[in-house]
């Protein structure tokens, strides 16, 4: 009798989980939130003269050297990665990622017209900017999109080879920061490393296979 009761208690746990895909409205809202997080993070880092990992870090670094708009550079650097995404991640993922990148470029142009960051401590910029970027990347990934650049590559590696996207991003970010040492003051690179750790840490901790149900 006790055995039968135990079986009835454990039976629901053995049932397959029914997963309800994201609706179009879910995707639009999730991608919009992700874009806002990434844009805010980049602006915080830029206000402190820092960089971070991924294509955002490359765009910031090049913008300091060339004095070109970071939003435009962000979009241009992404072009070859979008081609890679189209070939290996599919047209839907690529279209979502392209739309997100266009929105990020637009917000990087528009937000400073309504929000002027006069001063931000490097530690606050590093932790806040990196975390915001990480949260944005996570939101986009949850809705089948990426911020482009190295994010597309790391998501493809996780999808294809089950290699954690955050760990791959850490390796890529390390290369970016090593290059930055020859172009940016070492102290800035140190704070930038903290921002890259904060960004990759968000992805590493929360974007794991089996942790999230939805598509």
- pLDDT the model gives residue 212: 56
**What tokens does 128 get?**
């806040």
CA 64 to chain centre: 21
Low-confidence ranges of the chain (pLDDT < 50): 1-14, 213
Q: Structure pTM? A: 0.79
- pLDDT the model gives residue 206: 67
User: What does the pLDDT look like over 195-205, one tens digit per residue?
Assistant: 988 887 887 77
DSSP state of 148: S
Contact 111, 40 (CB under 8 A): yes
User: What does the pLDDT look like over 132-150, one tens digit per residue?
Assistant: 998 998 898 888 887 777 8
- pLDDT the model gives residue 107: 94
- pLDDT the model gives residue 209: 54
- pLDDT the model gives residue 43: 94
**What tokens does 94 get?**
């690529």
Cβ neighbour number for residue 4 with a 10 Å cutoff:
8
- pLDDT the model gives residue 199: 84
- pLDDT the model gives residue 123: 95
- pLDDT the model gives residue 10: 47
Q: What are phi and psi of 208, to 5 degrees?
A: -120, 145
CA distance 31 to 146: 9
**What tokens does 103 get?**
């929105």
């Amino acid at each position: 009798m006790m055995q039968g009761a135990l079986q009835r208690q454990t039976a629901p746990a053995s049932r397959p989980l029914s997963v309800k895909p994201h609706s179009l409205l879910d995707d639009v809202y999730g991608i919009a939130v992700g874009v806002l997080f990434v844009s805010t993070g980049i602006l915080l880092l830029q206000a402190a003269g820092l960089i971070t990992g991924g294509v955002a870090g490359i765009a910031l670094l090049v913008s300091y050297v060339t004095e070109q708009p970071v939003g435009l550079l962000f979009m241009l650097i992404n072009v070859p990665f979008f081609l890679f995404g189209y070939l290996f991640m599919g047209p839907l993922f690529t279209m979502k990622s392209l739309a997100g990148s266009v929105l990020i470029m637009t917000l990087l142009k528009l937000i400073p017209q309504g929000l002027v960051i006069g001063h931000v401590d490097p530690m606050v910029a590093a932790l806040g900017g990196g975390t915001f970027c990480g949260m944005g990347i996570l939101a986009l990934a949850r809705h089948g999109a990426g911020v482009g650049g190295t994010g597309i590559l790391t998501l493809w590696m996780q999808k294809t080879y089950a290699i954690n996207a955050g760990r791959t991003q850490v390796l890529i970010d390390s290369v970016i920061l090593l290059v930055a040492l020859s172009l940016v003051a070492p102290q800035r690179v140190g704070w930038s490393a903290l921002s890259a750790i904060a960004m990759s840490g968000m992805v590493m901790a929360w974007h794991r296979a089996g942790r999230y149900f939805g598509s």
